[in-house]
Amino acid sequence: MEVRIKRADFLAELMPMQGIVERRTTIPVLSHILLQANSDRLQLASTDLDVSLTSWCEAEVKGEGGIAVQARKFLEIIRSLVGDEVQLVLEDERRLSIVAGKSRFKINGLAPEDFPTLPTVGEEEKVELPFTKLKKMIGKIIFAVSTEESRFQLNGALFKLKDGAVEIVATDGHRLALVENEIEGSRDNDGVLVPRKALQELQRFEDEGNITFCRGEHHLSFSLGKRELTCRMLEGTFPDYERVIAKDNDKRARFVRKELAEAIHRVSLLTGDRARAIKLRMSPNQLVVSAANPDLGEAVEELSSEYEGDEFHVGMNPDYLGHFLSALDTEKVELELKDENTQCIGHPVEGQDRRYLCVIMPMRI
């Protein structure tokens, strides 16, 4: 293998690979990136066996071939180089020479045959989605994806195509986030579970075109420009989320989103690491946010609200409420409540989504 490639273009495709690579693994090759030169391009690939990413760069290829190199160290080398071009020369199947300007490196690697075979996804179920819209939708629900590995069916989001719309839902058992938007070309399916890591990597993509979504028997693929992200579908049954969304919450309060988010953040400074709870006391045109901690002290903050009902209070996890408020892009937010034992439903006021809401379970204080 002998290739000459523009350093800036190479770096742009190397950077996203780092999110896929396993840093702590008992399988050494999973900490590597596969470089494969053929025709007029240099192809790149990384995988953790569940999520894979492939891409390519235009290159001047004088000799074809490939090698798998240690991802983190290789990126550090390419990033440190000076000059517009980088020359890569394969000295033997396990040793790569890197040349740029007056710099010379030789890095050991693994034979391309040692790199895992990446899954392929057919195009039987294929749909194109506006990536900018999809990326915003993911950002509005990803905070609710569970991080508890024991609850594997909640370690991702339900990605559901409807007739002319897309719905994405995530829950960790304590909160639920749902967003739905009109997208032309989509058609009904029974939904698939996309793992959290795949959603995180999609958020790192930068493009304004359409992303192509394909569903296979066991894998999903998302193709955008030069990049293709492939992931294994999560197994298991996603909860019946529509039953969790209360339909009879009769108390509605509206707030300026930024003011509410800042007040919750300040008051939560006096909550403990184990007992993350604040109290929201509603009264006509006013909200009092408070927290009390026997070891640290107490905090109280008042802010105005659009609320005309009876006075009542409810306990909430400030992180859950704060994550939802941070995901919003509207000036005002509305909270629907019933009593201190019923879940809170938050949604934007005059948002652009067809449907966006967050369900947060109350806490006893």
Query: Each residue of 190-237: pLDDT tens digit?
Result: 789 999 999 999 999 987 889 999 998 899 999 999 999 999 999 989
Is residue 124 predicted with pLDDT exceeding 90?
A: no
Is residue 365 predicted with pLDDT exceeding 90?
A: no
Query: Each residue of 145-167: pLDDT tens digit?
Result: 999 888 888 999 999 988 889 99
pLDDT band at 122 (very low <50, low <70, confident <90, very high): confident
Per-residue pLDDT, 151 = 81
Same fold, 2-114 and 125-174+184-240: yes
For the chain, the farthest-separated pair of C-alpha atoms sits apart, in whole angstroms, at 78
Domain 125-174+184-240 is of which CATH architecture? Roll (3.10)
Per-residue pLDDT, 287 = 96
Per-residue pLDDT, 185 = 64
Across all residues in the chain, what is the average pLDDT? 93
Per-residue pLDDT, 143 = 97
Task: Give the residue among 51, 33, 174 at the shortest CA–CA distance from 107.
Answer: 33
User: Mean of the pLDDT values across residues 126-142?
Assistant: 93
The crossing angle, in degrees rounded to 10, of helices 257-268 and 318-327 is 150
Phi, psi at residue 188, to the nearest 5°?
-60, 135
Query: What is the chain's length?
Result: 365
What percent of the chain shows pLDDT beyond 90? 79
Cα 172-176-178 angle, rounded to 5 deg = 130
pLDDT band at 303 (very low <50, low <70, confident <90, very high): very high
Q: How far apart are CA 320 and CA 327, in angstroms?
A: 11
- Cβ atoms of 336 and 251 within 8 Å: the answer is yes
Per-residue pLDDT, 105 = 97
Q: How far apart are CA 77 and CA 254, in angstroms?
A: 52
Going from N- to C-terminal start, the domains of the chain cover 2-114, 125-174+184-240, 245-360
- Cβ atoms of 106 and 89 within 8 Å: the answer is no
Per-residue pLDDT, 261 = 97
Is residue 361 predicted with pLDDT exceeding 90?
A: yes
- Cβ atoms of 226 and 13 within 8 Å: the answer is yes
Question: What is the CATH number assigned to the segment(s) 245-360?
Answer: 3.10.150.10
Query: Each residue of 26-74: pLDDT tens digit?
Result: 899 999 999 999 989 999 999 999 999 999 999 999 999 999 999 999 9
Per-residue pLDDT, 189 = 75
Which amino acid is it at 255?
A: F
User: Mean of the pLDDT values across residues 72-89?
Assistant: 95
Per-residue pLDDT, 206 = 84
Question: What is the CATH number assigned to the segment(s) 2-114?
Answer: 3.10.150.10
Other C-beta atoms lying within 10 Å of the C-beta of residue 145: 21
Is residue 273 predicted with pLDDT exceeding 80?
A: no
Copy the structure tokens of residue 47. 């995988």
